[in-house]
Structure 1
Amino acid sequence: MELRRRSIVLGLSALTFAAAGSHRTSAAPVRAAPVTDTDDEWQVASPDSQGISASGLEEVLDAGHSVYSLRSLVVVRNGYLIAERYYGAAAYSLLTIFSITKSISSLLVGIAIHEGKIKNLDQTLGELLPEAAARHPEARINQVTLARILTQRTGLEYDDNNVAPLVAAKDAVSYVQLLPLGRNDPPNWVYSNAGCSLLSPILRRAVGEAIDEYAKQRLFSPLGITDFEWERDNTGNPLSWRGLRLRTRDLAKIAWIMADGGQWQGKQVVPADWVRDSTTSQVQVGTTLPPISDPGYGYLWWTGTLKGRPAAWGWGHGSQFAMIVPSLRLAIATNAQAGSYQRTRAQDQQVMALLTQIVELTT
């Protein structure tokens, strides 16, 4: 698709506490004002008007300057865009969201089920990709259900620290089919890029088009998202496990509809039951990120408790977050430059500390 990059013009004042695109910027209060660029579709309000201290929020955004490689932070309350800060990026920058691509792929599965393109979560890979199953009838993964793919319980034995073979595969589906499976039944939860890579060909066969086109029509266009890029595999399919690039404002739209039961400005975009089930723990996991407790996993969305409140989030390598706290009607989106796994672990904790402070400010 043709991509358009543009600055967002706001009525009366700049929407950010910082001018977009500058690493060090002056702080200014946000005034309630309509967005004059109708393609953006955000309604704007001040933090104070939505029950969050403007001065407290400004301090949190200022603290973001000290977080290694943080590039953006956008805050939404009650459906209003109340603050954003950019640290070297800009409001119009298309930024890689890494594994939040998985979370968005899950939404496309939910939409496809709602439209009757996919029958249910009990369908097996062999039923969903019968041609691929016929090429490798011996592959045990052909019997794995869609539910297990979405909850990271495929049983695939695959080193997720080395994705190069998956990226280089001439036929990613065949590559995954020939990977070994463990013997646990049911399989344990194990994070798997390889398993999630199957969603793109599954969706393509089910809906009759590539997932980027399906996303554009069913998800992005209803949200007013017009600018995005999507990495493809060697067969031409957009990746369903990484590779999507969005503006952080648009990632915040994805987060907000998850906080609001799948709705965007009163219109149902993602089925409400899919949002509920995706952000409800389907399986307990060992991975956690303080101060989050009760870590779990829904349908490619992480779940847990943050400051005593249920929370859910998409989580991409290098501190990409699409965080929601539905009981507070709060959504936060972040983007940061990814580094080594050792560095990003500390970075994740720093960014989560900022998100936690925003939750604490919300009344």
Structure 2
Amino acid sequence: MINSVKAQELNRLIRADYGNIAGIVVRRDNKLVFENYYDGYDQHATIHIASVTKSILSILIGIAIDKGFIESVDQNILDFFEGYDIKRGERTIQKITLKDILTMTAPYKFKYEPYTKVYSSDDWSKAALDLLGGKGKIGEFKYTTVGIQVLSGILANATAKSITEFATENLFTPLDINTPKNVTIRNKDEYFAFLRDRQVSGWVIDPKGVNTAGWGLALSTNDMAKIGQLCLNMGKWNGKPILSSKWIGNSVKEHSKCGERPYGYLWWIINGKNSKDYAAIGDGGNVIFVSPSKKMVVAIASRFMPRAKDRVELIKKHILPCLEND
């Protein structure tokens, strides 16, 4: 359990230096060992988890492969977009695989993310697909939120279900996570209103009803911790298999690098001296941190805030030391 004195010190630190944190949940050995909420939030509140959404999509892609909707990560992405009109002279896009998208090593035709162009279109997945290829090389790391919207199109087309329906049936309901309502965003003002909403809930969809892949999902801190526990347990929840251990293992090992930071299948690899930790990290300070060596999960939910302090550093320097018998 958490040392009570150190827990009080941690809570003081959070309130003083991390004012946008809404909740922290720590699980160890499959048990809840710490749970606290801040800034007027409680255990029922949901928060926009930003890019943590990407890691949820990774899990859903894994489930789709397990169930045979998708052959493997080596499948070409154009297999899922029947009738897509390939532009004259465009060859690179024909070689891009699902793995290239998952590892952020697919090339795109933009230097800066064209948020407005994609999110003002009628079909965000197709708009993202149109941006793939160009003169870039497959295999070079390029982190993108807009680009991986292709994954939502792949998942919807492969399963013939909405993302919400597939996620509810295969992930949310088994983990006792409430089904998020679909949220429509039509312009920039509504986008920023969604980011700043203290009572935000749901999962953003495009005009065709396809959910976002790189952002846009709201979960509670406990929901985030459950996702982390599922991964720590190699795809099992309360002993029941939800996702294959093979997928988890492949997801959280290094496939590419952002500078010196290893990257898996939409998971960041946090290599330590004697550990192979990994994390889902989202803007504003949202994180699901998983430490197999410590059999521990830390989930931190945070309100949107530009340039939020590093949560992995917070976990390593202040949260882990609070654990007794560490």
TM-score bracket, normalised by the shorter chain, equals 0.7 to 0.9
**Cα–Cα, structure 1 residues 283 and 259, in superposed 2: closer, same or farther, change >3 Å?**
same
- State the partner residue of 1:326: 292
- Measure, in 2, the Cα distance between the counterparts of 1:150 and 1:180: 14
Which AA in structure 1 matches 2:154?
I
- State the partner residue of 2:60: 108
Task: Provide the alpha-carbon RMSD of the alignment.
Answer: 1.9
- State the partner residue of 1:63: 13
Match of 2:266 among 300, 313, 331: 300
Residue 161 (structure 1) shift: 5.3
**Cα–Cα, structure 1 residues 62 and 268, in superposed 2: closer, same or farther, change >3 Å?**
farther
- Measure, in 1, the Cα distance between the counterparts of 2:118 and 2:273: 38
- State the partner residue of 1:21: none
- State the partner residue of 1:164: 116
- Measure, in 2, the Cα distance between the counterparts of 1:136 and 1:77: 50
SS of match in other structure, 1:231: strand
- State the partner residue of 1:207: 159
Where does structure 1 lack aligned partners over 5 or more consecutive residues? 1-46, 287-293
Residues 219-263 of structure 1, C-alpha deviations (whole Å, 9 max, x = no match): 011111125321001221111111111111111100111112111
- Measure, in 2, the Cα distance between the counterparts of 1:194 and 1:161: 6
- Would you say the 8 A contact 1:258–1:275 is kept in 2? yes
Which AA in structure 1 matches 2:242?
V
SS of match in other structure, 1:95: strand
**Cα–Cα, structure 1 residues 245 and 171, in superposed 2: closer, same or farther, change >3 Å?**
same
- Measure, in 2, the Cα distance between the counterparts of 1:125 and 1:348: 36
Residue 68 (structure 1) shift: 3.1
Residue 361 (structure 1) shift: 3.9
The yes-or-no answer on 1:77 pairing with 2:28 is: yes
- Measure, in 1, the Cα distance between the counterparts of 2:247 and 2:263: 14
Which AA in structure 1 matches 2:103?
T
- Would you say the 8 A contact 1:160–1:191 is kept in 2? no
Matches within 5 A, 1:1-363: 47=1, 52-66=2-16, 67-88=18-39, 89-131=41-83, 133=84, 135-136=85-86, 138=88, 139=90, 140-159=92-111, 163-179=115-131, 181=133, 183-228=135-180, 229-286=202-259, 295-306=261-272, 308-340=274-306, 344=307, 347-349=308-310, 351-356=311-316, 357-362=318-323, 363=326
Residue 166 (structure 1) shift: 1.9
- Measure, in 2, the Cα distance between the counterparts of 1:61 and 1:85: 8
TM-score calculated relative to the size of structure 2: 0.86
- Measure, in 2, the Cα distance between the counterparts of 1:162 and 1:90: 36
**Cα–Cα, structure 1 residues 307 and 96, in superposed 2: closer, same or farther, change >3 Å?**
farther
Where does structure 2 lack aligned partners over 5 or more consecutive residues? 181-201
Which AA in structure 1 matches 2:24?
L
SS of match in other structure, 2:173: helix
- Measure, in 2, the Cα distance between the counterparts of 1:165 and 1:325: 39
- Measure, in 2, the Cα distance between the counterparts of 1:120 and 1:353: 35
TM-score calculated relative to the size of structure 1: 0.77
- Paired residues, what number? 298
Residues 126-151 of structure 1, C-alpha deviations (whole Å, 9 max, x = no match): 112223x2x33545424310000000
Residue 174 (structure 1) shift: 3.1
- Would you say the 8 A contact 1:142–1:177 is kept in 2? no
- Would you say the 8 A contact 2:114–2:146 is kept in 1? no
- Identity within the alignment, %: 27
Which AA in structure 1 matches 2:315?
L
